[in-house]
Amino acid sequence: MRRKITIPMLLIATGVCILIGCIPIPGNFKQPDGRPRPEASIGKLNSDKPLKVGASSQAEVARVLGMPALSSADGTLLVYSYQVNDITTFWPICFFLTEPSYHERHLLLRFGPEGRLQSFKTYKDMSQLRQDTSWTPLDRVAPAAPLRQKS
C-alpha cells in the first residue's frame, strides 16, 4: 500500500517542481552580513538592551546604530535603512540551490523635545514612511568624514 502511494507522490512533486521552477521559502530575516536587525537593539526602559525607549539619547543611538540614512532638520526623526533576507528561493531542479533575496527595511526613530527616544517603527516601504512623516521633511545625512591619521 505504501509503495502504491510513494511513487505517484514523487511524480506529482517532480511535476510541480518542473512547472514552478523554484519554491520560495521564508528567509532568516537577518542582514546580509549576519548582524541582527537594528530594532533588536531597542527595548523598554527595564530591558537589558543597549537602547531604551524613554531613556536613550541621540548620541547613544548613534553610538549603537551608527549614522542614520535620513534625518529631520531638528533631529526629532531619524531613519535607518538596511536589508533583510525575507525570502530564500529553493531551486530543486538546479542541484538543490538556494538563493536568498534581500529587501529594504526602514527603521523610524522618534525623539521627544528633551532629545530622548520616544518611539520606533519599522517599514517595508519608504513611501509609507514618507506618508507617515509628511509633516516633517527628511534629508539625507552626509557620511562622517574619516579620521585622518597623524603622520
* Per-residue pLDDT tens digits for 44-97: 999 999 999 999 999 999 999 999 999 998 989 999 999 988 877 776 665 556
Span 20-25, average pLDDT = 71
Domain assignment present for residue 151? The answer is no
Number of Cβ within a 10 Å radius of residue 78: 24
pLDDT, residue 107, reads: 95
Could you list the residue range(s) of the whole structural domain that residue 62 is in? 2-140
pLDDT, residue 31, reads: 85
| Domains of the chain: total | 1
Bigger pLDDT: 75 vs 4? 75
pLDDT, residue 85, reads: 85
Amino acid at 82: Y
Domain assignment present for residue 26? The answer is yes
Torsional sign, CA 47, 52, 55, 59: positive
Domain assignment present for residue 122? The answer is yes
CA pair distance 57, 114, nearest whole angstrom = 9
pTM of the model: 0.74
pLDDT, residue 4, reads: 79
Residue 63: CB partners within 8 Å, gap ≥ 6?
A: none
pLDDT, residue 56, reads: 94
SS (H, E, C) 6-61: HHHHHHHHHHHHHHHCCEEEECCCCCCCCCCCHHHHEECCCCCCCEECCCCEHHHH
Domain assignment present for residue 108? The answer is yes
- pLDDT band at residue 104 using 50, 70 and 90 as cut-offs: very high
Whole-Å CA distances, 15 to 4, 5, 18, 40, 44 = 18, 16, 5, 41, 50
Number of Cβ within a 10 Å radius of residue 20: 11
In this structure, are residues 54 and 115 in contact, taking their beta carbons and an 8 Å threshold?
A: no
Domain assignment present for residue 145? The answer is no
Domain assignment present for residue 29? The answer is yes
- pLDDT band at residue 129 using 50, 70 and 90 as cut-offs: very high
pLDDT higher than threshold 90 for residue 109? yes
**Mean pLDDT, all residues of the chain:** 83
